[in-house]
Amino acid sequence: MNQRTNHQPPVRILVCLVLGAIILTGPAGAADGRPFRVMGFGNSFYENSVPWFQPTLFATAGEKMEITTRIGPGWQIWMHMNTFYDNPANTRDVLASGEWDAVLIHHFGEHPLLKDNVRDSVWHNQKSWGEKRDVSDSAAASFIIEELLKARPNDGKVFLYTSWPGIPGAGDFLKRVADETKASLESKGVAREEVLKQVRERKLTLEEMRPLMESFDYAAGWLGKYEPNRETPHESKNFHSRDYAWQLMELLKERFPQLWQEGRLAQIPNGDVLLALDQKARAGQFPGITNIGFYSRDGGHLRAGLPRYTLAATTFAVMFRKHPQALDAAVYNNIENYKNENMLKLPGRIGSGYIHFPDCGELLEITPERKKVVDDTIWEVVKNHPYTQVK
């Protein structure tokens, strides 16, 4: 769906321009004082921000928020797009109600490519859809945006949540540990179901991860140039990079110029915030943290505590255009809160929510000194970033 371009009398044009300026400089919150309602689409990297904590966190800085999420393990944007066809009651119909002020879309490019990837299926063993679809990140994100704008053409907002590069070698190391665990359990005669369960839940310990953390060159991954492989898309290089994230934003700006001009399209620059924190850590300016590798749980997911608060505070800074210093991070600083029986008791969550607790690892404590570094760094990045719309 294209944004509305109908001609208007001069007076109405002037009013729209004034309102556009207000939107561009104002916060994301609903104007009538009701909660700002967000529908989030992503995978476990989005889960790492613990969106179900965010209404509680944001309320400590005076902002009302309600959230519903659609999260799948390893899901990319095209998979969420497919649910609008396969399960419209859970996606298309929800947005069509007009009750959601914004969508948050987490890009996790790998199979889909950045643009122009039209096909009738993705996996080699997947049944054909019977029609061709563009499953690229730009097309799939545009599809979801258009669905929002059908219901909220004048005030619907879009936030693109960025991923971050993983630690090279962590996946291979984890596989080796899993294979060793499986062999050890089988040699003891443990039942197959229990073997599979323990292997599935086996995560690297902090000490096992430490050498990988210490050697992690975050800048090399984040600042690498995106190299698409159209023959075997999953072998593309640097799809979790600034280059990829910024190119995607440019494509969305081209597709939705009015949305961009009115300040209703913005990026949540997690990758750039982590780069800035990595630089401060290496300069000895981040208490107790030598580089951003120590944020990592398993080479990809982030640890509970400070790392996950960082993602949430970045989201806050972009959504509400405020320095995150007023946030009380207590909800992120208690590992018990991450257990689903406790998380599900928090207010502001609409529908289901789930945290894969083994991915939380050992909590990295949020001290006042560390929080100040994180908050100030987020604001430095967000207010100077080309795609956050924070001026």
- Does the pLDDT of residue 175 top 90, yes or no? no
pLDDT higher than 80, residue 364: yes
**In one letter, which amino acid is 219?**
A
Position 28 scores a pLDDT of 63
Q: Count other Cβ atoms within 10 Å, centred on residue 273.
A: 26
Q: Kindly indicate the confidence band of residue 25, based on its pLDDT and cuts at 50, 70 and 90.
A: very low
Instruction: Please tell me the predicted confidence (pLDDT) of residue 20.
Output: 35
**313 in Cβ contact with 374 (< 8 Å):** yes
pLDDT in tens, 295-344: 999 999 999 999 999 999 999 999 999 999 999 999 999 999 999 999 99
Closest CA to 141 of 103, 94, 97: 103
204/317: higher pLDDT: 317
- Over residues 119-164, the pLDDT tens digits come to 998 876 678 888 999 999 999 999 999 999 999 999 999 999 999 9
How is residue 59 annotated by DSSP? H
**Contact assessment for residue 286 and residue 280, using Cβ atoms and an 8 Å cutoff:** yes
Q: What is the pLDDT of residue 167?
A: 94
Indicate whether 17 pLDDT > 80: no
Judged by DSSP in three states, 364 sits in: strand
β-strands 102-106, 157-161 pairing: parallel
Enter the tokens of residue 8.
């208007």
The pLDDT value recorded for residue 19 is 33
- Per the document, the length of the chain is 391
- The per-residue pLDDT for 125 is 64
Q: What is the mean pLDDT of residues 362-386?
A: 98
Distance of CA 186 to the CA centre of its chain: 38
238: left (phi over 0), alpha (psi -120 to 50) or beta: left
pTM of the model: 0.89
Task: Give the residue with greater pLDDT, 3 vs 346.
Answer: 346
> What is the spatial distance between Cα 106 and Cα 313, in angstroms, rounded to a whole number?
16
Cα separation of 8 and 335, whole Å? 55
Q: Is the pLDDT of residue 90 over 70?
A: yes
pLDDT score for 126: 76
Q: Are 256 and 313 in contact (CB under 8 A)?
A: no
Under DSSP, the state recorded for 352 is -
Q: Cα separation of 214 and 386, whole Å? A: 31
Q: What is the pLDDT of residue 29?
A: 60
Q: Mean pLDDT throughout 54-83?
A: 96
What mean pLDDT comes out for the span 98-109? Answer: 94
Tokens of 378: 């987020």
Q: Which residue has the higher pLDDT, 324 or 236?
A: 324
Q: Look at residue 272 in the predicted model and tell me its pLDDT.
A: 98
Q: Are 298 and 173 in contact (CB under 8 A)?
A: no
What is the pLDDT, as a whole number, of residue 148? Answer: 98
- In the three-class reduction of DSSP (H, G, I as helix; E, B as strand; rest coil), residue 125 is classed as coil
Q: Which of 186-190, 283-287, 360-364 has the lowest mean pLDDT?
A: 186-190
| Mean pLDDT across 192-211 | 84
Measured at the CA of 107, the angle between CA 101 and CA 111, to 5 degrees, comes to 140
pLDDT at 60: 98
Question: Does an H or E element contain 137, and which?
Answer: helix 137-151
Instruction: Please enumerate in sequence order all residues whose Cβ is within 8 A of that of 249, keeping only pairs 6 or more positions apart, or say none.
Output: 160, 267, 387
What gap in Å lies between CA 319 and CA 84, rounded to an integer? Answer: 25
Answer whether residue 32 shows pLDDT above 80: no
Rounded distance, CA 389 to CA 157, Å? 12
Answer whether 107's CB lies under 8 Å from 248's CB.
Answer: yes
Q: Which domains, ranges and CATH numbers included, belong to the chain?
A: 10-164+217-383 (3.40.50.1110), 169-215 (no CATH)
Residues 323 and 55: beta-carbon distance below 8 Å: no
Residue 14 predicted with pLDDT over 60: no
Residue 205 is predicted with a pLDDT of: 86
Mean pLDDT for the stretch of residues 246-251: 98
User: Where residue 27 falls among pLDDT bands split at 50, 70, 90?
Assistant: low
Which residue bears the tokens 């000194």?
369
CA angle 50, 294, 77 (to 5 degrees): 40
Which tokens sit at 21?
């300026």
- Write down the pLDDT at residue 50: 98
Q: Give the tens place of pLDDT for each residue, 189-199.
A: 889 888 888 87
**Residue closest to 273 by CA, chosen among 371, 137, 162:** 162
- β pairing state of 133-134 and 118-119: antiparallel
> How crowded is residue 25: how many other Cβ atoms within 10 Å of its Cβ?
12
